[in-house]
Structure 1
């Protein structure tokens, strides 16, 4: 099932089905319990009425059991012997005994005036049990309930039985079992169950249909986004954008995020195209110059400009190295995790710059080594690019300082040149950008040094910014987290 709408509709239908079935079972259980309790209360009332008659020593054959066809009654003694049953009771279950025939002794015990005296009119046992006319009573404890069945005049049905204890005036304990029919409870439960089972499929169909329609409406913008993305992929036109719905839901945020991604992708592709075009342009000049010199040398060896050819070759080599480093940085190459002392690195790098036209002043402050983690080669490249830029624009002085600032290490390179206009602070870090367009390529470089420096700083979780030096020139600050 590949459709989101179908899965949503199926999932919602299953959830509703489970919830309805669980709720239906609870309703049926509660309904059955309430009706059973009502039947038990009805049985208890009948049992207490009969127990009250027994407590008054009403003879068993004279007990008022006028509704025995509705409420079967069984009276037993404490030993389970049947004393009396309602008329027409043919079978019973769920009580203390399934017997429905009174024991012979019960008839004998029910004869007489109920006074508990013998034939001679005297007390049988010193008047201990039968002499007190107030001894007959009905137990006030809650009766015992049970479910069973009874056959009355050939009709068998289920009943709720209540067992009430009583004591005759003669002191004889008896148990009265009276039943109330459960037919009404069963009929009501069956009716509710049938109604639920009949309405459940219809309700599930409604839930599935509504969920399908609602999901279809909700996902309609997604289909529009998909179609537009497919068109963008087919046309390769990154200037197009997906439609953004007017709602503020997740789909609208998805559309906005998609358009933002397309904007970044378009800018990245444009930057890549410009990079390739600029790189081709920059490579063409030294290659063309080198070819011209070699062709002249081949035709006229005495006119071969060897130093110029070497210079073009070196320039070509440096440009190729810069392009290779940028490609590696763009590919996400992570710097090493070596510990590099920036103070020692600057002290070692500056004396090796033999071709500088202006001496570089070095200042390292701070207690202990100023260490960072990263690639020593790439950090050396950053410092070298910053010094090359300063040498290119300085008039009389270039300075580099290394210091600690809280948890960071700062490398500051300053010069006394014309500085960088504030509106160009971000642009100078773009690739192949040179602010002095009138300057020759040989003097101004290819415009990759500062771009490489900032990319390397970012890869080392640092920053590279430009400002104004105290003497009015440019101030480049490299900030890296201290190890």
Structure 2
């Protein structure tokens, strides 16, 4: 059964069937108990009426028994189990103190008689069930047994019955009516559930059909219909459209990335090919340093693209404990040939993270600062609460406030007039921010006191703190790539 509607209708029908059957059994039990209680009440009243006569001193053979024996059969049994009084026309009886149907003569002293005192009627009543045959007809009765004693002593037990015919007939009638209407009710429940489920699932079928059309057409700009309700189906449609929008944006980013990467690779490849072709035709004109520079640039660009691909794939950095200040000093010591000298102001700041990746962040920030600095670059390392803070400051022209988020987008260069050889591909700051986010940190651009740019990296020093913030910061960083960032990348 692959249809949701069929499964829902079957499930609802089964649940209602179980509920109705359970309710039917309960109803019959309550009805039977009430009817039995009524029969017991009638039997008790009849038994006490006869017991009161015995207590008043009337002898057993002169008792005023009910005339309608079929409705109220009575049997009086003494302490020895002898039947001393019985209703007329009773041919057989069970469920009482004796199966006898003929009264015996009372013993001397049991013939009643007037006395100064009266006998006693017990307050206790015992109930039993038995059959009585009257004039050849047998029926089931509920008997009430009441003990009584006469004024001269002698105790007897009065058994009075009330028929259970009404109880049996009523319960049977109700049971038959329930069995007759149950299939009709179940059929109605199944039909209503089928129709309601069909109506409720109609928007889902619309969503499925539109998703199938989107898959076939590969047009991610299409959206599924959203019903005007505020139920789960409407929320499903909205979530589906949000997913389609995110997927469309992701595909568009991927297309732009591929297009930008192709464009960036085209220039150094074309330049290198031209130099090699000239060198092949005129060896004396070969610009070997230029060819090497273009090759290095290609190598760096390919490495950047590969790193971005790994970061986009969700690669998590391997973590070790190291001192960020020591990392800064090592990196600066290897850049003795930089155009602008770098000043280091670092205090010890140990953290858990990927030393190679954070070293890459530092290198990209220094490359960016060297490209824009006039005469000075300053690197500082400090701790702030649970974070390690690294800042790279230059005394260049700075970054306009409106551009301080856009510079972290991929392939963004604010100095459009600058040559690609001087300005880089625009990936350095994008890579730096991605690495910062995957360490649970942030990378932001501000204005330095000297008027240049100040790039600040904040990274949690403990792995536990990193785990708490990495997911939410990753989402914010992913959104930031498609807003307006800061400044030119390296």
TM score, norm. by length of structure 1: 0.92
2:475 counterpart residue number: none
Output one character per residue of 1:153-186: Cα deviation in whole Å (capped at 9) or x when no partner: 2111111110111011221111111110011111
Match of 2:14 in 1: 14
Aligned length: 461
Instruction: After TM superposition, give the deviation of residue 460 of structure 1 in Å.
Output: 1.0
The 3 A distance-change label for structure 1 pair 101 and 371 is farther
Q: Cα offset for 1:340?
A: 2.9
Tell me by how many angstroms 1:48 deviates: 0.5
Say if 2:277 is the partner of 1:276: no
1:377: which partner in 2?
356
Question: What residue in structure 2 maps to residue 92 of structure 1?
Answer: 93
> Who is 1:47 aligned against?
47
- 1:456 maps to which residue? 435
Cα deviation, residue 232, structure 1: 0.7
Q: Is 1:59–1:110's contact at 8 Å kept on the other side of the alignment? A: no
CA–CA distance in structure 2, aligned partners of residues 203 and 371 of structure 1 = 74
Q: Aligned residue for 1:200?
A: 182
* Residue 416 of structure 1, CA deviation: 1.4
The range that moved more, 9-18 or 436-445, is 9-18
Match of 2:74 in 1: 73
With over 3 angstroms needed to count, the CA separation of the structure-2 counterparts of 1:403 and 1:98, relative to structure 1, is farther
Of 269, 290, 300, the residue aligned with 1:308 is: 290
- The answer for the alignment partner of 2:36 in structure 1 is 36
The one-character-per-residue Cα deviations of 1:32-55 (angstroms, maximum 9, x if unpaired) are 111110110000011011111222
Q: 1:60, 1:110 within 8 Å by CA — same for their partners in 2?
A: no
Determine which of 136, 141, 144 is the counterpart of 1:162: 144
Alpha-carbon distance in structure 1 between the residues aligned to 2:342 and 2:108:
133
Q: Whole-Å Cα distance in 2 between the matches of residues 2 and 448 of structure 1?
A: 51
Q: Quick check: 2:60–2:111 contact (8 Å CA) kept in 1?
A: no
In the other structure, the counterpart of 1:326 is 308
Distance 1:41 1:55 in 2: 21
SS at match of 1:140: strand
1:175 has 2:157 as partner: yes
Residue 188 (structure 1) aligns with: 170
Aligned to 1:431: 410
Q: How does 1:31-430 map to 2 (within 5 A)?
A: 31-65=31-65, 66-102=67-103, 106-109=104-107, 113-115=111-113, 133-141=116-124, 143-365=125-347, 369-430=348-409
Deviation at 1:110, TM superposition (A): 6.7
> In 2, Cα distance between the equivalents of 1:112 and 1:197?
56
User: What residue in structure 1 maps to residue 469 of structure 2?
Assistant: none
Given that residues 135 and 171 in structure 1 are in contact (C-alpha distance below 8 angstroms), is that contact kept between their aligned partners in structure 2? no
Cα deviation, residue 359, structure 1:
1.1
Cα distance in 2, alignment partners of residues 213 and 29 from structure 1: 35
Whether the 8 Å contact between 2:48 and 2:146 is mirrored in structure 1 is yes
C-alpha separation in 1, matches of 2:415 and 2:246: 29
Alignment RMSD (CA, Å):
1.7
Following the alignment from structure 2 to structure 1, what is the Cα–Cα distance between the partners of residues 390 and 274? 42
* Deviates most, 390-399 or 336-345: 336-345
Distance change in 2, residues 1:372/1:112 (3 Å):
closer
Q: 1:465 and 2:465 equivalent?
A: no
Structure 1 residue 135, shift from structure 2 partner: 4.4
Cα pair 1:374 1:460 within 8 Å, conserved = yes
Q: Classify 1:206/1:112 alpha carbon distance in 2 versus 1 (closer, same or farther; 3 Å).
A: closer
**2 CA distance for matches of 1:198 and 1:399?**
93
Check conservation: 1:336, 1:373, Cα contact below 8 A: no
SS at match of 2:107: helix
TM-score (norm 2): 0.90
1:165–1:307 CA distance, 2 compared to 1 (3 A): same
Contact 2:110 2:154 in 1 (8 A): no
